[in-house]
């Protein structure tokens, strides 16, 4: 275990999250494809000086490799913008709104006016040789158990093309990913130890998932910047597996300690490996590769837009979890309800119809559907198509009007799954208390010495939903006490 304070440990995070909107500067569809591309284009890229007139060291390094780049595309989903044959369109407003929402959730100051910039990239992942990016917010923070971690900047930018094949002298890219909007979050180097790095990463992930972002493998990319006293900053890419975060950081500290013993201190960009080790990628880039995007006007973000977004900020899972717990849901039910936005929305809508029993509504939309799917060898979605939101609404309306008992809801659902029409399934005949007691006494005479629950099981099997379970149990206990 390292003494992080004694080592002069500093760390900061940089996160790139894809947004679930059309592409940032073309409006083209933003989905990945696996079918055969319609065409291929071959190009070579060249170095360009940045705004200061200097060529960045990382750019120089890539230029020495002399690679050929092949781009695969589709006529019906790749635009001329992605091919760098047409100027960029105005920034996609939906994507900008999502990025601004993230900034507000992170307590940032939003720039009222900003400039889209070009960031020189010559590894071939951008057909233009640069990535478009705009700084939209700064000076935010996120809370952790060790205090606030300051957010330095939030940018919105376009994603790069994805690698299909990498060879020594040639790289094949597919253009379906190029231009997908990304929100980039960069923290200050406020993180004090490996545990806080992990905590902060998970917290930022929770905030992003509350917004309209893409989900799944490859939709989020996370880097960590690490330094100790006597060593320059090192950026480790591919730092997104929570299980490996602490080990990766500790191994990087060990590597930097060895560097210092060997009179090395230069920073560099490295790639995280599954083992927790890392490998060299390229020299650390500088600021010389940024220059203004001349094909786009200044980006203006009005106060009205910000105020409107503030009124509709999404809730975080942590806050929702606390609210659901106050409504009486168990941790199991909370976890099931929070599995997707759709389930949560359905739960909250149905709760408006029958707010007196939150656990009942939660079981209807999650636990019971899962149970029905397993017992009937159907998928959750197949069960949901039969037991739809509208079916649930009508059942709960009957419960709210005291036309059926809440304890009968599951039985009504099973009748519908058995093919009964909703109107017929809602017709539940109840037997009288006298009939229950008569049968209880008969069963006890014929099968003496059974447990209470066993007698209850016999009754439930015989009457299948016509029984008031609480009343039946009360009668069984009373009769047994008499005997």
Question: String of b and e for 93-104 (b: at least 16 CB within 10 Å)?
Answer: eebbbbbbbbbb
pLDDT band at 62 (very low <50, low <70, confident <90, very high): low
| 296 in the same domain as 185 | yes
| Range name among 383-397, 440-454, 462-476 with the lowest pLDDT average | 462-476
| 421 in the same domain as 451 | no
pLDDT at 163: 95
- 110-136 tens-digit pLDDT: 999 999 999 988 789 999 989 999 999
**Residue 91 pLDDT > 50, yes or no?**
yes
307 belongs to a structural domain: no
| Range name among 58-67, 269-278, 407-416 with the lowest pLDDT average | 58-67
370 belongs to a structural domain: yes
Residue of 440 and 384 predicted with greater confidence? 384
Q: Which segments of 181-244 does DSSP mark as H helices, in order?
A: 194-209
pLDDT at 120: 84
421 belongs to a structural domain: yes
**Residue 468 pLDDT > 70, yes or no?**
no
**Residue 466 pLDDT > 70, yes or no?**
no
Highest mean predicted confidence (pLDDT) among 158-162, 320-324, 421-425:
158-162
Helix (H) or strand (E) holding 117: strand 116-120
- 213-269 tens-digit pLDDT: 998 878 999 999 999 999 999 999 999 899 999 999 999 999 999 999 999 999 999
Helix (H) or strand (E) holding 39: strand 39-43
Q: Among the three residues 300, 323, 345, which one is the final residue of a domain in this structure?
A: 300
| 184 in the same domain as 156 | yes
pLDDT at 204: 96
The bridge status of strand 162-166 relative to strand 170-174 is: antiparallel
396 belongs to a structural domain: yes
pLDDT band at 48 (very low <50, low <70, confident <90, very high): low
| 267 in the same domain as 339 | no
Residue with token string 């006298």:
434
pLDDT at 474: 75
| 248 in the same domain as 327 | no
Residue of 169 and 158 predicted with greater confidence? 158
Residue of 478 and 29 predicted with greater confidence? 29
12 belongs to a structural domain: yes
Are the CB atoms for 303 and 111 separated by under 8 Å? no
pLDDT at 477: 79
The CB density around residue 351, as the number of other CB atoms within 10 Å, is 18
Q: Among the three residues 267, 300, 333, which one is the final residue of a domain in this structure?
A: 300
pLDDT band at 443 (very low <50, low <70, confident <90, very high): confident
pLDDT at 467: 60
| 83 in the same domain as 41 | yes
The single-letter DSSP state of residue 196 is H
211 belongs to a structural domain: yes
pLDDT at 447: 79
- 30-43 tens-digit pLDDT: 999 999 999 999 98
pLDDT at 288: 62
| 193 in the same domain as 162 | yes
pLDDT band at 464 (very low <50, low <70, confident <90, very high): low
Are the CB atoms for 6 and 199 separated by under 8 Å? no
CA distances from 191 to 115, 142, 146, 360 (A): 30, 11, 9, 43
Range of the domain at 437: 433-482
User: Domain count of the chain?
Assistant: 3
Mean pLDDT of 188-198: 97
**Residue 67 pLDDT > 90, yes or no?**
no
Question: Rounded to whole angstroms, how far apart are CA atoms 102 and 92?
Answer: 16
| 369 in the same domain as 344 | yes
Residue of 54 and 17 predicted with greater confidence? 17
**Residue 199 pLDDT > 70, yes or no?**
yes
pLDDT band at 104 (very low <50, low <70, confident <90, very high): very high
| 63 in the same domain as 95 | yes
Are the CB atoms for 179 and 30 separated by under 8 Å? yes
Helix (H) or strand (E) holding 415: helix 409-417
| 233 in the same domain as 181 | yes
| 472 in the same domain as 407 | no
pLDDT at 429: 62
pLDDT at 81: 97
- Provide, rounded to the nearest whole percent, the portion of the chain with pLDDT above 90: 66
Are the CB atoms for 197 and 204 separated by under 8 Å? no
| 328 in the same domain as 258 | no
The bridge status of strand 39-43 relative to strand 68-73 is: antiparallel
pLDDT at 47: 66
**Residue 157 pLDDT > 90, yes or no?**
yes
**Residue 442 pLDDT > 70, yes or no?**
yes
Q: Among the three residues 380, 399, 425, which one is the final residue of a domain in this structure?
A: 425
pLDDT at 483: 47
Mean pLDDT of the chain: 89
43 belongs to a structural domain: yes
pTM here is 0.76
268 belongs to a structural domain: yes
**Residue 424 pLDDT > 90, yes or no?**
no
How many Cα atoms are found within 13 Å in the side-chain-facing hemisphere of 133?
22
């Amino acid at each position: 275990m390292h003494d992080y304070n004694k080592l002069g440990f500093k760390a900061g995070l940089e996160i790139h999250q894809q947004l679930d909107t059309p592409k940032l500067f073309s409006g083209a569809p933003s989905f990945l494809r696996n079918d055969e591309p319609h065409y291929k284009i071959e190009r070579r890229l060249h170095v360009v000086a940045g705004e200061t007139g200097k060529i960045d060291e990382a750019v120089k390094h890539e230029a020495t490799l002399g690679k050929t780049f092949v781009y695969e595309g589709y006529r019906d989903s790749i635009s001329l913008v992605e091919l760098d044959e047409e100027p960029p369109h105005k920034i996609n407003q939906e994507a900008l709104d999502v990025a601004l929402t993230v900034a507000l959730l992170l307590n940032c100051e939003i720039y009222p006016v900003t400039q889209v910039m070009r960031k020189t990239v010559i590894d071939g992942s951008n057909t233009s040789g640069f990535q478009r990016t705009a700084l939209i917010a700064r000076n935010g923070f996120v809370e952790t158990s060790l205090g606030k971690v300051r957010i330095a900047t939030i940018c919105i930018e376009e994603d790069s093309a994805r690698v299909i094949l990498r060879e020594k002298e040639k790289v094949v890219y597919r253009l379906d990913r190029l231009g997908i909007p990304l929100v980039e979050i960069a923290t200050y180097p406020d993180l004090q130890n490996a545990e806080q790095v992990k905590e902060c990463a998970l917290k930022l992930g929770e905030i992003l998932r509350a917004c309209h972002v893409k989900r799944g493998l490859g939709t989020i990319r996370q880097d960590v910047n690490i330094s100790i006293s006597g060593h320059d900053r090192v950026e480790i890419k591919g730092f997104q597996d929570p299980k490996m975060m602490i080990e990766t950081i500790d191994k990087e500290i060990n590597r930097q300690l060895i560097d210092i013993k060997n009179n090395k201190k230069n920073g560099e960009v490295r790639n995280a490996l599954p083992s927790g080790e890392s490998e060299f990628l390229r020299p650390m880039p500088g600021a010389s590769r940024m220059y203004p995007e001349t094909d786009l006007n200044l980006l203006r973000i009005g106060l009205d837009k910000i105020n409107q977004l503030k009124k509709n900020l999404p809730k975080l899972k942590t806050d929702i979890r606390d609210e659901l717990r106050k409504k009486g849901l168990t941790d199991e039910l909370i976890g099931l309800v929070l599995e997707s936005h759709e389930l949560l929305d359905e739960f909250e809508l149905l709760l408006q119809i029958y707010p007196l029993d939150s656990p009942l509504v939660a079981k209807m939309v999650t636990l019971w559907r899962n149970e029905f799917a397993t017992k009937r060898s159907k998928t959750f979605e197949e069960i949901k198509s039969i037991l739809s939101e509208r079916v649930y609404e009508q059942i709960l309306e009957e419960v709210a009007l005291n036309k059926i008992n809440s304890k009968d809801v599951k039985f009504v659902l099973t009748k519908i799954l058995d093919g009964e029409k909703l109107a017929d399934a809602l017709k539940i005949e109840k037997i009288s208390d006298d009939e229950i007691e008569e049968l209880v006494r008969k069963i006890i005479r014929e099968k003496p010495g059974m447990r209470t629950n066993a007698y209850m099981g016999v009754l439930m099997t015989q009457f299948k939903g016509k029984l008031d379970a609480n009343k039946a149990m009360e009668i069984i206990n009373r009769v047994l006490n008499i005997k």
